[in-house]
Amino acid sequence: MKPHPWNTAFEWQATGHDQFDEQGFFLLEDAIDASELAEVTAEIDPFEERMTAFLRTQPDGRLMIADAEAITFTTHLVTRAPRLREFAAGPVFQKLCAQLVGSTPRLYWDQAVYKKPETAKEFPWHQDNGYTFVVPQQYLTCWVPLVDATVDNGCPWVVPGLHLQGTLEHWWTEVGYQCIEHPHDAVPVEAPAGSVVVFSSLTPHRTGPNVTDGVRKAYILQYAPDGAEALRGDTGDPPATRERQDDPDRQFEILSGHG
């Protein structure tokens, strides 16, 4: 493991949540009631179906790491569904953000990830901040299972403790970015529907294959402090540009109003 070239002076900012600070993740159980979860799923499903149909028009049914028959990523749903915008700024996420992000959090990213039944295969270990280098590096991912997430259908696995090192160097594979190989201390986080897997943008994680007959459905919400910037450029050089993450359509404030 090596630090990302732009990770030169990282220091973990303690949140006061002991497990999150020490291990980089925790499971919040019984956070969302069944009726709300059903509403959210009903909003997402048609968008995911259209994404799957689009992928099937692409060569081999794939685009980047998305695969119509294996895994789909449906992004920026808060710009298309007021109910999902309301959900992303709801009381569960307000409370999490108030403790783990700070006084002025914004939604940074939202996407549904549906994992279809597939053959067993390895999926790369990565940090969310390894895909786009955001400063501050420390932001929040809330992984919301819309169905029970188990080892068999592709629940998250995490590596505790490595978040304290900041963003690691990543390399590209045919199924996404990777930062470590075969960690010995990885743990699965099985999550029933209605719970939230809460982890840092710096926590290495992966999801296993879905070897069941059903679709594993998850909605992922990420939150960063107001003023966060995405750095762009060749990682062998200093960042070429810095883009403030405050698009009002999809990166709205969580605690002071969300339009």
DSSP for 7-55 reads -SS------S-HHHHHHSEEEE-S-S-HHHHHHHHHHHHHHHHHHHHHH
- Confidence band of 62 (pLDDT split at 50, 70, 90): very high
- Segment 35-44 mean pLDDT: 98
Q: Is 131 helix (H, G, I), strand (E, B) or coil?
A: coil
**CA 92, CA 28: separation in Å to the nearest integer?**
10
The pLDDT score that the predictor gives to residue 256 is 67
Domains in the chain, start-ordered, CATH in brackets?
A: 31-244 (2.60.120.620)
Per cent of the chain over pLDDT 90 is 91
Distance of CA 206 to the CA centre of its chain: 10
Who wins on pLDDT, 120 or 203?
Answer: 203
124 vs 171: CA distance, rounded Å: 10
The enclosing H or E element of 139 equals: none
pTM exceeding 0.85: yes
- The confidence score (pLDDT) of residue 132 equals 96
Would you state the pLDDT for residue 259? 44
Which distant-in-sequence residues (6+ apart) come within 8 Å of 17 by Cβ?
Answer: 26, 99, 100
Whole-number average pLDDT of the chain = 95
Query: Is the sign of the CA dihedral 77, 78, 80, 81 positive or negative?
Result: positive
pLDDT of residue 138: 97
Could you tell me the pLDDT band of residue 174, with boundaries at 50, 70 and 90? confident
Average pLDDT for 20-25: 98
| Confidence class for position 257, pLDDT limits 50, 70, 90 | low
